[in-house]
């Protein structure tokens, strides 16, 4: 007998990358739990490719699973880390790729959005999101993990997507 999830407490289960992922997402579907997608770590192999991340997000959406991303999403935009050279996903890229998938885009297009590095293109796309898009996104892309509070806020402010803090 599988124990019931606590009422009102969101539960996230980390799903594996690779061939086991679809089965793990299938197992989560309908349980009330959400998916946790690891998007970084201390080795280059811990960062999924754009295609793998797009497929994982699409897999969550196909199964009506909300998800969060954890690790490696310190900045809004995709970039190469200056200290390690690792390719980091941007949380704004993830948000916009999710929006595109919700609108019926395929995973190839979502992967292109995940690979985009143009601040202007991504900020413009974010500004075009309607309130309805934002509401749909909040239902499925629940959160992202970062080791920094200020880096995401600084990035969004620099992109003109967040007002500067009052002084």
Residue 145: band (very low, low, confident or very high) from pLDDT cuts 50, 70, 90 = confident
Is 122 inside any structural domain? yes
Is 121 inside any structural domain? yes
Is 6 inside any structural domain? no
Is 67 inside any structural domain? yes
**What integer pLDDT is reported at residue 147 of this predicted model?**
77
Percent of the chain past pLDDT 90, that is, above it, reads: 81
CA pair distance 161, 128, nearest whole angstrom? 11
pLDDT per position as a tens digit, 43-98 = 999 999 999 999 999 999 999 999 999 988 889 999 999 999 999 999 999 999 99
Look over the chain and give the mean of its residue pLDDT values, rounded to a whole number.
93
Domain span at residue 96 reads 14-158
Residue 166 clears pLDDT 70, i.e. is over it: yes
If one counts every other C-beta atom within 10 angstroms of the C-beta of residue 126, the result is 19
Is 73 inside any structural domain? yes
Is 117 inside any structural domain? yes
Is 109 inside any structural domain? yes
pTM of the model: 0.93
String of DSSP letters for 2-58: PPPPPTT---EEEPPSSTTHHHHHHHHTTSS-EEEEE---SSGGGS--HHHHHHHHH
**What integer pLDDT is reported at residue 5 of this predicted model?**
64
Is 31 inside any structural domain? yes
Closest-CA residue to 36 (of 74, 73, 9, 69): 69
CA pair distance 152, 85, nearest whole angstrom? 20
The domain total for the chain is 1
CA pair distance 139, 134, nearest whole angstrom? 9
Residue 39: which residues within 8 A CB-CB, separation 6 or more?
Answer: 47, 48, 53, 69, 70, 71, 72, 73, 89, 94, 144
């Amino acid at each position: 007998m599988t124990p019931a999830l606590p009422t009102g407490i969101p539960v996230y289960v980390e799903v594996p990358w690779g061939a086991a992922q679809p089965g793990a997402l299938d197992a989560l579907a309908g349980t009330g739990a959400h998916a946790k997608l690891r998007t970084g770590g201390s080795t280059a192999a811990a960062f999924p490719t754009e295609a793998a991340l797009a497929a994982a997000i699409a897999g969550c959406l196909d199964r009506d699973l909300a998800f969060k991303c954890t690790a490696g999403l310190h900045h809004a935009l995709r970039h190469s880390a200056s200290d390690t050279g690792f390719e980091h996903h941007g949380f704004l890229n993830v948000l916009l790729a999710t929006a595109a998938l919700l609108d019926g885009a395929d995973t190839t297009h979502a992967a292109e959005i995940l690979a985009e590095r143009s601040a202007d293109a991504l900020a413009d796309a974010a500004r075009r999101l309607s309130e309805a898009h934002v509401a749909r996104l909040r239902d499925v892309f629940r959160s992202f993990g970062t080791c920094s509070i200020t880096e995401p806020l600084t990035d969004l402010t620099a992109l003109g997507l967040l007002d500067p803090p009052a002084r």
